[in-house]
Structure 1
């Protein structure tokens, strides 16, 4: 009779995944949650600054941004349309009450007031390129915070829920070939890391202060805490005889080590990336790596190779860097396109721009494509590439190898969902209309518009659910605690034989602990990262 440890290992082994369409449908609840939150905020005062700490607003925030994602990956995984309906039903009274309130106000207010109300969604800013600072050039982006925080929530939910029967096996990491929610999750984590990493490079280039040596040293310093987390995980797993799936990353390697390596690789290869662009660099690495897998014995080595050396024992984790790094670079590419306050000309194929060259480009009429359009273009590019290659190619997606199809699939998904988040913010919360000038004496269409605009007043945390702001502030700490709790629960309870009610009770309690921890840190201004 198998031991509980062996049963748990078998439970997460030899999985074949599901369809990409199923994954899109299930994870669409994350965007739906943001949409519902935005509508409630717009139509009521529930999430206004004065009410944001109330018990009612905190509970609703939790239900939308934590519980929704747990339900979509467990009890409602096979009935997402019902979950969507259940999310929209409570909006009906909110919208009706808002309509009645607006109708009453219309009778009391003058036409001038009504005109001002109709323009509430429009946020206007004037950017003078001559006085533009790197801080203003790289403002806080609401929908990126929401995207990253909700991805962390899904990640934390999945790493715990995967050990329960209530979590569909099609969502668990596949053995070698196929697509699943958890396979997408690790790739999305890397994509998000690449996206945010672009910020420091854009800032340095804008200020004309990029230094290769300093960048490498900084990347090692930033990766050190993640590497230490990897060591802690390795030691803790070995010391308590925790069940492991060796074919995931290898005998000694884990995902923290992968995350620690990527910024360092990016810094080392920065001159090449600057020269030929992160997008092209990522494509070239993926193609060469695919050639190695198919024509140079890489496939056979990863699948059936011996584990008699350190490299052989950890071949999945080490070689998959050749796939995760292109994913990182694709996220880096999107970051170059969308992190700035105004579009950079040719941002898909280059990293940032100096202030001097930005002024020259805008004076010549080269103003670049809007950031939402760029996100849409990249999503279409990756989606079409995935469809064509998946249809014609002999092999499928492999997260274990991080092959070409996996790289494209992860990039397509993240670009598509970031476009969706950006669209929701634009339609519901309102867009920022920016007037760009290159001199304080330039004539403006509207003389009443001030030359200098406080961007922080237009783009603020007000447009992000409090629970997601809290997660984003201490995401790495939250991820570490989630891993520790997962190990603790697995060591102290029999998750395999837990019934539906017990399973959901433990999972809800688990996410409540994480949510409360993040909010306590946030309310006390504690940033551990």
Structure 2
């Protein structure tokens, strides 16, 4: 890559100010629409009866990958048209009468209830995580083409953009799913702080290696860099590796205060240090001297990302268990005996859909107040308080949206809890398979692998093509091919039951 082309590419993603949050919500709402479209086709037709059928696979790809790609590129200024084009052909299908198979009730024996049964796989969470991964993979390559609006690329310092939101959402999702293992350990009275800390250290090493490989390849191939994003050496893989490790290190304190309260405390303390003790001035204007100075954005933004991660964990405690547990909006899950004995205690206890609605409304109200009254705006570069609140508000809202679609099309899962010995005790995953597109299950099965492959392909494309000079049509052809490769690899690994990470 010539130096001039490298400089042009760096300039292409530098000094940006983002766009409106309404615009971001509009284009990403296509992810919920795509799940609605797939669910209607699945329930009302036989097109997805065989997931290995070529027609079904292509349609799955078009709905769950191409629609999202179009929403952030050529239809980004005309989302209503894209949504209408997706939904109008379904009207006749919606009106068609089909034989309704009665909602299956899963009978649970509380006496023999296991921790795995207590935390079943949730269809709408799988859809949310996979769609988030897909749009992230789309954006990291699309941003290098003119067809991708500059308002969606990461802002320089202040403002909101789609890619800024994606980084925080990735961390939020990571916190959400990490809660499952903790719930199971506590349910089985098998939680061990030291063991979990050692495990988190082991889990962080592969991601640290990926970060080191990315850093080395960027320097080796003279790849374009945006230094104010994380710093001169830091990258997102380092952030991903350290956040769970920090959270596990302070687990006793987090459990004592609750994850959501701890997240608020960290967010507020960090904001005070930023604004009252000149950390903000240091990050924005100081010279890049020493290892800390050269990577100040990546190092100090860890506080904000940790707050986001803890909010994800807190939500996991609310929505992942089989039934609402005592004070599930505020506290961690207890042992099996504690969960069962306090099942009728409704203080600060909500169902998943109510919890999502309350949290979405609360965080959006808080965001609106701060955005209106506070002197500072959203800054992904520093991961400040307004950024933390915005990311959490968005993820609560879209999880609520996916849950609404699931309930609307498939109905709320029905469980019958009993202590009778002659009742079925298995919580199977038939609903997960029936209500989630196979393409999304495949992405979710090897999420980190898909993300790493997307980064590798992005690098190869940028080293091979002058992306900033490419026409919109050629860019879309290349981007669709890129998405097809990611989808095909994910599907192959899933069908062969090869789980990397």
So what's the TM-score if we normalise by structure 1? 0.92
Tell me whether 1:89 sits opposite 2:105 in the alignment: no
Question: Aligned residue for 2:64?
Answer: 65
Structure 1 stretch 74-83 or stretch 369-378: which is displaced more?
369-378
Residue 104 of structure 2 is aligned with which of 123, 130, 138? 123
> For 1:195-210, what aligned pairs fall within 5 Å after superposition?
195-210=176-191
**Cα gap change, 1:429/1:364 in structure 2, threshold over 3 Å: closer, same or farther?**
closer
What displacement does 1:46 show?
1.3
Query: What CA distance in whole angstroms lies between the structure 1 residues aligned with 2:310 and 2:407?
Result: 26
Question: Aligned residue for 2:329?
Answer: 348
For the Cα contact (< 8 Å) 2:327–2:348, is it kept in 1?
no
Residue 248 of structure 2 is aligned with which of 264, 267, 272? 267
**Cα gap change, 1:368/1:123 in structure 2, threshold over 3 Å: closer, same or farther?**
farther
Residue 487 of structure 1 is aligned with which of 459, 462, 479? 459
Query: What CA distance in whole angstroms lies between the structure 2 residues aligned with 1:2 and 1:524?
Result: 43
Question: Aligned residue for 2:47?
Answer: 46
For the Cα contact (< 8 Å) 1:178–1:397, is it kept in 2?
yes
**Cα gap change, 1:93/1:59 in structure 2, threshold over 3 Å: closer, same or farther?**
farther
Instruction: Deviation per CA, 1:465-501: give whole Å up to 9, x if none.
Output: 0111110111111111110110111111110111111
Question: Aligned residue for 1:109?
Answer: none
Instruction: Deviation per CA, 1:278-303: give whole Å up to 9, x if none.
Output: 00000000000000010000111110
SS of aligned partner of 1:202: helix
For the Cα contact (< 8 Å) 2:17–2:156, is it kept in 1?
yes
Query: What CA distance in whole angstroms lies between the structure 1 residues aligned with 2:355 and 2:369?
Result: 21
What displacement does 1:524 show?
1.5
Question: Aligned residue for 1:112?
Answer: none
> For 1:4-403, what aligned pairs fall within 5 Å after superposition?
4-48=5-49, 51-95=50-94, 98-99=96-97, 102=98, 118=100, 120=101, 122-362=103-343, 368-403=349-384
For the Cα contact (< 8 Å) 1:343–1:367, is it kept in 2?
no
Question: Aligned residue for 1:446?
Answer: none
- Residue segments in structure 2 that go unaligned for 5+ positions in a row: none
What displacement does 1:362 show?
2.5
SS of aligned partner of 1:455: coil
> For 1:407-486, what aligned pairs fall within 5 Å after superposition?
407-437=388-418, 439-440=419-420, 451-486=423-458
Give aligned pairs, total: 500
SS of aligned partner of 2:389: helix
Structure 1 stretch 374-383 or stretch 391-400: which is displaced more?
374-383
Question: Aligned residue for 2:488?
Answer: 516
SS of aligned partner of 1:527: coil
Structure 1 stretch 512-521 or stretch 253-262: which is displaced more?
512-521
Instruction: Deviation per CA, 1:440-476: give whole Å up to 9, x if none.
Output: 27xxxxxxxx622432155332211011111011111
Query: What CA distance in whole angstroms lies between the structure 2 residues aligned with 1:95 and 1:142?
Result: 21
Query: What CA distance in whole angstroms lies between the structure 1 residues aligned with 2:123 and 2:459?
Result: 33
For the Cα contact (< 8 Å) 1:343–1:368, is it kept in 2?
yes
SS of aligned partner of 1:402: coil
- Residue segments in structure 1 that go unaligned for 5+ positions in a row: 103-116, 442-449
SS of aligned partner of 2:329: helix
For the Cα contact (< 8 Å) 2:450–2:490, is it kept in 1?
yes
So what's the TM-score if we normalise by structure 2? 0.97
Structure 1 stretch 1-10 or stretch 162-171: which is displaced more?
1-10
**Cα gap change, 1:320/1:365 in structure 2, threshold over 3 Å: closer, same or farther?**
closer
Query: What CA distance in whole angstroms lies between the structure 2 residues aligned with 1:459 and 1:83?
Result: 29
Query: What CA distance in whole angstroms lies between the structure 2 residues aligned with 1:95 and 1:211?
Result: 51
For the Cα contact (< 8 Å) 1:289–1:403, is it kept in 2?
yes
Instruction: Deviation per CA, 1:300-333: give whole Å up to 9, x if none.
Output: 1110112111011000000000100000000111
Instruction: Deviation per CA, 1:383-429: give whole Å up to 9, x if none.
Output: 11111111110010000000000000000000000011011101101
Structure 1 stretch 126-135 or stretch 352-361: which is displaced more?
126-135
Instruction: Deviation per CA, 1:170-221: give whole Å up to 9, x if none.
Output: 0000000000000000000000000001111111111111111001001111
What displacement does 1:367 show?
10
Instruction: Deviation per CA, 1:223-251: give whole Å up to 9, x if none.
Output: 11111111111111110000000000001
Structure 1 stretch 336-345 or stretch 241-250: which is displaced more?
336-345
> In terms of Rg, which structure is larger?
1
Instruction: Deviation per CA, 1:135-186: give whole Å up to 9, x if none.
Output: 1001111110110001111000000000000000000000000000000000
Query: What CA distance in whole angstroms lies between the structure 1 residues aligned with 2:186 and 2:73?
Result: 45
SS of aligned partner of 1:411: helix
Instruction: Deviation per CA, 1:82-112: give whole Å up to 9, x if none.
Output: 000110133134345x33xx4xxxxxxxxxx
**Cα gap change, 1:337/1:363 in structure 2, threshold over 3 Å: closer, same or farther?**
closer
SS of aligned partner of 2:33: helix
Query: What CA distance in whole angstroms lies between the structure 1 residues aligned with 2:403 and 2:93?
Result: 24
What displacement does 1:129 show?
2.3
SS of aligned partner of 1:126: strand
For the Cα contact (< 8 Å) 1:195–1:331, is it kept in 2?
yes
Q: Please, what is the CA RMSD of the aligned residues?
A: 1.6
